[in-house]
Amino acid sequence: MKQIIVDLVSLDLLGRHFAVCIYGYGLMLVAGFLAAIYLARWRARRCGEDPDVITRCGLLSLVGGIVGGRVAYVIQHWSSEFATAPDPLTAALDVTSGGLIYHGGLILATAMVVAYLWAKRLPVRRYLDIIAISLMVGLAFGRAGCLLNGCCFGTACPADWPAGMRFPMFSKPLVKLTGGLGGFSSHTEEPSPVYEHQFSLGLVQPDERLFDPGPPRHVWPPRYLHGRLTNDQVAELLDESRWEADFHALAGEDGRISEAEWRHGLAAGTGLLRGSENWGQAVLHFDHGWDGQLDLDEMRQYLEARRAWVMARFDVNGDGVLDPSERAAANAYLQADLFALASASRSLLVKPAQLLSLIGALVVAALLWGFFRLRSREGQVFALMAMLYSAVRFLEEGIRDQNAHNMARGQMTHNQITAIVIAAAGALMWVVLHYLPPSAGPTAVQRLAAKNSNLPAGKARHGRRGTT
């Protein structure tokens, strides 16, 4: 899993935060698109068709694939992911962190390509056969992106599974091992999809310092964590007389502490903040005005709550005072490197759904490649792709997590139902093709020759399969 390939910089523009990064998922989408276009252009030339038409169809497929795939994903996961988001529309439009359903993209992309070919009076069936293999190659790259992003993961598997996979709590680039407090985009602060899912079910339990016990109960994002600390973490907690003076030294003229001022205090590591304080926890539980700032009373409540917790945990003899050994234990606990703890946290073993999906797409592509020269009618390759891919996807759903299914009881996922529909459409197309001419029409070269000789294109000589 590597959600971010290159982390460049973070920008604050017009009051909004943007991360300038190269994401693994997006990179694989681009690489898959380029590979699919190159392969389809090569096959188009071999079939006597114009490669530039393939490029235009590819652009339509890209738009249709992303829009259709995203719309299908949003519809399926609206209540669980988007309805409760602070900005549902922004969340729905954000595809950089994954969230595309291939069936939705396939349907819309195919519709747009067919409409374009029909409008240009081009041999639709031939072009569909040409791009069918490329669709599977592009899907394989997409599954590689899913693996890098950690989405579309499999169900839990026994510990002795040789192909089982563990996913980290956070993608490696997100855990700043140097202890930096750099900015992060909103979705890159979240735990990996696998870990977050298992955590929500209580299957994994990270170190208590890495999450807020709640309610609400959630894992802290990396920007609230810290590296190894050396400062005395309990000095300020034990000296209540210093709180007010240190607060005013850190707060701005408005008498409140903002997140920027809090970060400044953490970086200094002296006075009110010693390094282990958690801004997220302070704001979540003690910012009673919900303005993103803490006044003196709110800060006092936060520090008193921390002090009470430290005393309850480390005052072993219950005398209300931390003796040297108890104080050392408290400091060791609070000074621990939270980035290291987060880096060591892993999910339970899950089935390699993304990897198996990638292999399945490549196997379908190989079968279509071999069948291409054996087809008796143009359009059969695309019809076979619809049937083969739907069968593979139906089986893949059986090893994926998140979508409830139980075949013994006839309970299927949305994608399994869609797979059945697409497979039926492919089978129907196969049958209909037997009532159509074997060839979809003359090739581009033959159409041009007919045009130059002032003959109808249909009179031009062409082979049975429309290939050269």
Sign of the dihedral defined by the CA atoms of residues 130, 136, 142, 144, in that order? negative
Strand partners, 400: 154
| pLDDT recorded at residue 218 | 83
Cα–Cα separations (whole angstroms), residue 261 to 24, 78, 251: 34, 37, 7
| pLDDT recorded at residue 178 | 35
Residues of the chain with pLDDT under 70: 7-20, 84, 86, 95-98, 172-189, 402-410, 454-468
Half-sphere exposure of 343 (CA within 13 A, CB side): 14
Q: For strand 4-13 and strand 16-23, is the pairing parallel, antiparallel, or unpaired?
A: antiparallel
| pLDDT recorded at residue 11 | 59
Domains and CATH numbers, the chain: 4-159+349-436 (no CATH), 229-335 (1.10.238)
**pLDDT 10s digits, 168-191:** 988 765 554 333 333 334 445 678
| pLDDT recorded at residue 333 | 95
Chain centroid, CA 25 distance in Å: 7
| pLDDT recorded at residue 179 | 36
Please answer whether residues 197 and 207 qualify as being in contact, where contact means their C-beta atoms are separated by less than 8 angstroms: no
| pLDDT recorded at residue 466 | 39
Q: Quick one: 294 exposed, middle or buried, by C-beta within 10 A (0-12, 13-18, 19+)?
A: buried
Q: What is the pTM of this model?
A: 0.77
| pLDDT recorded at residue 29 | 86
